[in-house]
Structures are given as structure tokens and as C-alpha cells.
Chain A
Amino acid sequence: MKKRDWQLWLFPVITMVLLVSIYFQNQASFNNKDSITYTYLRHALQGSLGYGAVGNYRNMISLQDLEPGDILLGGYPECAYGRFSHAGIYIGDGQVIEAYVDLGITQQPVEHYWTYSEICLLKVKAAPAQKQAAIDYAKSHLGELFYPVAFRPGERIWNCTKIVWEAYRQQDINLESSGDIWISPDDFYDSPWVQVIREKSV
């Protein structure tokens, strides 16, 4: 064996070990055909990749009675992850904390949710103090890194849903109870911890 052949084979071996390890830790998730993994693969096979047909669909849903701690979901047609592709947590004063690949975890005006063809506003069944603590948690992570396929564990690598999920999980509110390896916006919609304020499809 040549001196540096180990460099060539180190990462393939580690990949196999990690694949097996993650599979055995999440067998229930991999056996669930409704999980986000299979949803994405199904849509990918049908030709839908990524977050769908981006555009300005002018849903003009009323945002007036949003309260701090509420969750916003948005989606475009042909989204691969399900009905919704994006999530954010409302923090008051017309601002939302969300995450994008180029901006990381960021604070933005809420009005841009009008561009989605699918929109839903959710109220979390939690005490105001818990909601404020969730907002504070999200704020403390502003500027941190977005990675599109961020796994559930860890507090360094995020996507738009993971930061909202983790902010509430820190308050003992688990918005995704199926135990999947990652979080999707549709998980929030299906969670027993939330009630729909209003939703719209354009």
C-alpha cells in the first residue's frame, strides 16, 4: 500500500460508517414513507427540485393581528419539500426572524411573505413568556450559518425551520414530533402545538 493511499480512502470509509450509524439511530424515520426524506425524493423523481417556482404571487393575506411568537409559513408551486418551503418567527413591530442561504439567520420585514403562492400563519399554544424566550433565543443566533440540509442536532448550522424549531424546543415545545432527521415547514403545520390563524393558496 502506498504511503498516501489512506488519504484517498479515509473519507469514503468515514462516509460508510456515518451512514450506517445515522441509519441505525433513525430507523423509524427511514421506515416512514411520509417523512421529509421520502417526500423530497418523490418530488425530485417527478422533476421538482429546491423551493419551486419563485415569483411574486401577491397573496395579500392580512398580517395585522400577528403577535410575537407566531410562525409564518410560505411556499411556491412545485416545491420539493412539501406545501411550504420557508418558515419564520414573528418578533413584533413588523419584523420576522428567518434564515436564508446568503444572509444566514436574519431579521427582515414581514411583508415579503405576500410573495408566496402558499401562505399560512400559525399561533403556537404557549405562554407569552415562552414565546418571548423563543424570540430571544432566535435573536441570539442572528448572523449564524444557513445550510440547506441541516440535520436536527447541533446549534451551529441552521436552516429556516431548524432555528424556529430549536427556539421553541428550548422552551420544551417540540413542533416536530415524528422524530425525523431534519425539520420541514410542513411539520409545523401538522404539529398539535399550533393552531392555524389563517391560510391562503393563490
Chain B
Amino acid sequence: MKIVARLYFIHIFAWLAIWLATYYPGLDIVLAVVYLVIICDQMRSLAKGSKCKGVAGFILWQAPGIIFSLISLLPWSWWGIKDYAFFLLMFWYTPVVPLLSILKWVIAGYPLYYYLLLAMPLIYGLLFTAAIQLKQPVFSASRIR
């Protein structure tokens, strides 16, 4: 739980700092990269215990992103809830918005950042998986000792 609280604390203050940094174009991109480095390092701590606890902690940390992304993908929208969910999804992932702003491609009428935001819980999941892999000690494959 402590590490999940740390991840929330870092994410929320990164959200504020990186949003404010967009006032100084360029600084926002630097801070977004720093955020990713820090968050990857912290996720390695999350992966230190048992695999189940690590995955549960990751889901707990990414719960807002997962919920907003799933609502945004619903085929129907009550009282504009889908639109507001995408708004909130974008706010939640503000720390990576400067990096998304570099991508300017449009695919099937939607900009690339739209698809990447919807997939962001999965992208964070891949980062988490990579962090777990990095945690594993590397042994020599050689039988010659």
C-alpha cells in the first residue's frame, strides 16, 4: 500500500507540475521524460514483492485511468458521460500529454493521441511488465562454469 500511495503522490504532483510547465514550452517535455524515468523506477519497487501483490498494486494505482478509458470505449453515452470520461482520461494522463503533443498523425479521422490515451492503461501495463523483467536477476545461460 505504501508504494501505491507513493505512486499516487508522484503522479498527482507530476500532473500539476507538468501542466504548469506547459506554460514554458519545452520544459513540459523535459519534465514528462523525467516523470517516466521516476515512475519506471518506482514501479520496480512495486514488483519487488509477490507478483500478485505487484499486479494488484498496479491496478489500484491505475484504477482512474482504467475506469475512464473503459467508459470512453462504451458504445453508448448517458448524459454525455462518455465525453466527460475522455476529458478526465486526458487530465489523468496529463504527465504524458507533452509527449503525445509531439505526435501529429491522424488515423481514420482521429488523431494518434486519441488512440494512445485510450490505450494508456495498457501502455503503463507494458512499462510495469518491463519493470518486473528488469527486476529479475540475469543468470548466465552458459553451462560452462
Contact = CB atoms under 8 A, between A and B. Distances in A.
Bound pair (A, B)? yes
Interface of A: 4, 7-8, 10-12, 14-15, 18-19, 22, 50, 54, 101-104, 142-145, 147-151, 153-157, 181
Interface stretch (B8-16, B56-64, B134-142): B8-16
- Interface of A, helix, strand, loop or mixed by DSSP: loop
Contacts of B9: 8
B111 A104 contact: yes
A137 to B, nearest CB: 15
Interface of B: 6, 9-10, 13-14, 16-25, 28, 31, 34-35, 38, 41-42, 80, 83-84, 86-87, 90-91, 94, 97-98, 100-106, 109-114
Nearest to B13: A11
A143 B23 contact: no
A101 B98 contact: no
A75 B97 CA distance: 27
Contact of B22 (A10, A14, A144, A154): A154
A157 B97 contact: yes
Contacts of B6: 8
Nearest to B45: A4
- Interface of B, helix, strand, loop or mixed by DSSP: helix
Given A8-B9, A156-B102, A149 B19 contact: yes
Contacts of B38: 7, 10
Nearest to A141: B104
11 contacts: A4-B42, A10-B34, A10-B38, A11-B14, A12-B13, A18-B17, A101-B87, A102-B83, A143-B106, A151-B23, A155-B25
Contacts of B25: 153-156
